[in-house]
Amino acid sequence: MTEEKEIKLEDNERQPCEQWTRVMGYFRPVENYNKGKKQEFADRKYFSEKKAMKRLADASKTTDAAE
């Protein structure tokens, strides 16, 4: 078994990462957004199928117990 070495970089050694998002069928860099759109992007909630299925199963258990 090989042991992986953790790589640590100082902030000045890091390369900026350009973030893109899909808007109405095309991709656009987030850095080009206006202030309001940037905040809207930051406030987005992402869908997780695992979480949704768990929530659905939990709700089903609660409903079954009430009957």
The answer to whether position 21 is within a domain reads yes
Per the structure, the count of domains in the chain is 1
Domain for residue 43, yes or no?
yes
Asked whether residue 41 is assigned to any structural domain, the reply reads yes
**61-67 mean pLDDT:** 66
CB 48 within 8 A of CB 57: no
Q: Confirm whether pTM is higher than 0.95.
A: no
Range of the domain at 56: 16-66
Residue 65 has pLDDT above 80, yes or no: no
Question: Is 60 within a domain?
Answer: yes
pLDDT in tens, 37-47: 889 888 988 88
Over residues 17-24, mean pLDDT: 84
**Is 22 contained in some domain?**
yes
Residue type for position 47 = F
Residue 55 lies in a domain: yes
Structure tokens of 27? 């991709």
Query: Which residues does 33 contact at the CB level (< 8 Å), separation at least 6?
Result: 41
Cβ atoms of residues 41 and 29 within 8 Å: no
Residues 6+ positions from 10 with CB-CB distance below 8 Å: none
